[in-house]
């Protein structure tokens, strides 16, 4: 695939803006679809992107389309209907689906795309908006081998770690496994942070001891950057999205007949926080909610032992 193929991008939010910016900077003509948040769209247009009104218009103009949306119904909505991708696409279109979505939806849309001469690549993302802006995201890719090789130069524009994990659908399955691990970590870290505070071990001590041990990891560091250092932007990923991802993972487990009691417990943490009206809080903020359930003020506890 030529380095200069025309690329469309639907969903230029927290992650999508940085990805689209990097595609532009690597020389790809870029087409974007506007949304309610005008700031990232206008920034990209100022950098040279062209804005269109519908996915259909984008599909008629582009060789590759990226989708980076919040859930499976949103993804379906940009494919189907008189203004959707399927209505306007030309033969050979490759759609790179970067949302964290339901693998069954991915496979169904892949079949519909294939009937019209197109190709689906599911390439959900790992890491944060910081890496999106830097062009160093993780990508776990589901695609036919030949299509993967064709699209790899485009993925290289915004990803620093690319793993081809299997055929179409495998990328989204892998992402659900990854996010189940991450959100289970989040629930566990929130719980033990409060436990430590209740028994006289300040959050800063947990951060220092665990972070310097073999149990430390990047997600722990990010989570505790909020829980202890109170960096509200440490991980810009909402409770609503976390809950949705674990829900998709549990559905996948049920279809596979796989035991999932820990994932079920993780979902309950996020469902409870959603029910309390905090769906748009970022994931590390659950440490505050769990602390309050334990009769603690994490803001005050975090000051203890902190440099």
Active site residues per annotation? 175
Which residues, listed in sequence order, are joined to residue 51 by a DSSP beta bridge? Answer: 32
Query: Which stretches does DSSP call E strand in the chain?
Result: 7-10, 30-33, 50-52, 64-67, 94-97, 119-122, 125-126, 137-142, 159-166
Rounded-to-integer distance, Cα 128 and Cα 134, Å: 10
CB atoms within 10 A of CB 208: 17
CA-based nearest residue to 249, from 301, 153, 184? 184
Which two tokens mark 185? 């970590």
Which two tokens mark 161? 């770690």
Kindly state the DSSP code that residue 284 receives in the 8-state scheme: G
Question: Between vectors from CA 169 to CA 284 and to CA 175, what angle results, nearest 5°?
Answer: 15
């Amino acid at each position: 695939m030529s380095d200069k193929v025309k690329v469309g991008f639907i969903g230029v939010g927290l992650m999508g803006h940085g990805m689209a910016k990097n595609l532009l900077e690597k020389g790809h003509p870029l087409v974007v679809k506007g949304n309610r948040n005008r700031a990232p769209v206008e920034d990209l247009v100022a950098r040279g992107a062209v804005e269109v009104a519908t996915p259909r218009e984008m599909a008629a103009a582009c060789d590759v389309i990226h989708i980076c949306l919040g859930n499976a119904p949103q993804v379906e909505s940009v494919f189907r209907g008189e203004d959707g991708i399927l209505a306007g696409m030309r033969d050979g279109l490759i759609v790179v689906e970067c949302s964290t979505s339901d693998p069954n939806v991915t496979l169904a849309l892949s079949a519909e795309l294939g009937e019209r001469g197109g190709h689906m690549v599911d390439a959900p993302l790992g890491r944060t908006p910081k890496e999106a802006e830097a062009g160093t995201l993780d990508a776990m890719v589901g695609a036919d081998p030949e299509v993967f090789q064709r699209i790899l130069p485009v993925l290289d524009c915004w990803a620093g770690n690319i793993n081809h994990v299997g055929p179409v659908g495998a990328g989204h399955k892998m992402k659900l496994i990854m996010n189940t691990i991450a959100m289970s970590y989040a629930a566990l870290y929130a719980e033990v942070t409060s436990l430590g505070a209740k028994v006289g071990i300040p959050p800063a001590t947990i951060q220092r001891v665990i972070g310097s041990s073999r149990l430390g990891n990047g997600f722990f560091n990010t989570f505790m950057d909020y829980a202890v250092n109170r960096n509200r932007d440490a991980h810009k990923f909402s409770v609503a999205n976390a809950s949705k991802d674990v829900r998709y993972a549990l559905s996948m487990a049920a279809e596979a007949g796989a035991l999932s009691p820990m994932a079920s417990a993780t979902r309950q943490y996020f469902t409870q926080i959603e029910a309390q009206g905090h769906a748009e809080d970022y994931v590390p903020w659950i440490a505050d909610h769990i602390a309050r359930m334990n009769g603690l003020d994490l803001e005050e506890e975090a000051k203890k032992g902190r440099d």
